[in-house]
Chains A and B, each alone.
Chain A
Amino acid sequence: EVQLVESGGGLVQPGGSLRLSCAASGFTFSSYWMSWVRQAPGKGLEWVANIKQDGSEKYYVDSVKGRFTISRDNAKNSLYLQMNSLRAEDTAVYYCARDARYSSGGTHYWGQGTLVTVSS
């Protein structure tokens, strides 16, 4: 059974940092693109970043470029999102997602999400 379990969310002040983690199991982690997707309260889904199987390609939505860094450790079956210079508008539930073997594929599995709240 595929499982994605996020951790690391919480309350942080504007300008602060947070590191999200996603523990993956039930599939060959190193064979899939992985993404972070977020959803602000009462709003729609927003893709944040994704990373290729070997980490050689990373892409970001413009609003987080230069502030967020996606990474993965295939030996630990883990995905990460380092978030710096956080803003109020980054407040959202952050989902870890397993994409396809190809970057154009659908997202077949999602974690349950971790809430990040940026507030003073």
Chain B
Amino acid sequence: SYVLTQPPSVSVAPGKTARITCGGNNIGSKSVHWYQQKPGQAPVLVIYYDSDRPSGIPERFSGSNSGNTATLTISRVEAGDEADYYCQVWDSSSHHRVFGTGTKVTVL
């Protein structure tokens, strides 16, 4: 089955840039979606189809995808961005949706 690997944690100071990676075999050939989840809440889609933002998501959130790594970038990080972040793809060979292992973002 297809595996997506994320770093367990990322720490960033307010106002700086956080980059969260999602590694997978030839992930650049797939569409990657990113979710933010705060404690006790349902996930929220922040990036879809690699780099599109749903309405209501700040422009500070951006995404890219190439080769074996997709990246979620959060610019000018705010305290409210502290959350768990998950990448997700659809694996065409199994028709399964796969989530990454998740990354906890801590704002220092």
Contact = CB atoms under 8 A, between A and B. Distances in A.
A and B: partners?
yes
Interface of A: 35, 37, 44-47, 50, 57, 59, 61-62, 95, 99, 103-108, 110-113
Interface size class of B (residues with CB under 8 A): 20 to 34
Interface in B52-103: 54, 84, 86, 88, 90, 92, 94-102
Task: Give the interface SS of chain A, mostly helix, strand, loop or mixed.
Answer: loop
List the 7 closest pairs (A to B, CB-CB), nearest first: A106-B48, A106-B33, A110-B42, A44-B102, A104-B90, A47-B97, A45-B99
21 contacts: A35-B97, A44-B86, A44-B100, A44-B101, A44-B102, A47-B88, A59-B96, A95-B43, A103-B95, A104-B92, A105-B31, A105-B90, A106-B45, A106-B49, A107-B45, A107-B88, A108-B45, A108-B48, A108-B54, A110-B44, A111-B42
A113 B99 contact: no
Nearest to A44: B102
B95 A45 contact: no
A29 B101 CA distance: 30
Contacts of B94: 59
Nearest to B54: A108
Interface of B: 1, 30-31, 33, 35, 37, 42-45, 48-49, 54, 84, 86, 88, 90, 92, 94-102
Nearest to A96: B42
A59 B93 CA distance: 12
A71 to B, nearest CB: 17
A47 B100 CA distance: 10
A58 to B, nearest CB: 9
B98 A47 contact: yes
B86 A47 contact: no
A59 B48 contact: no
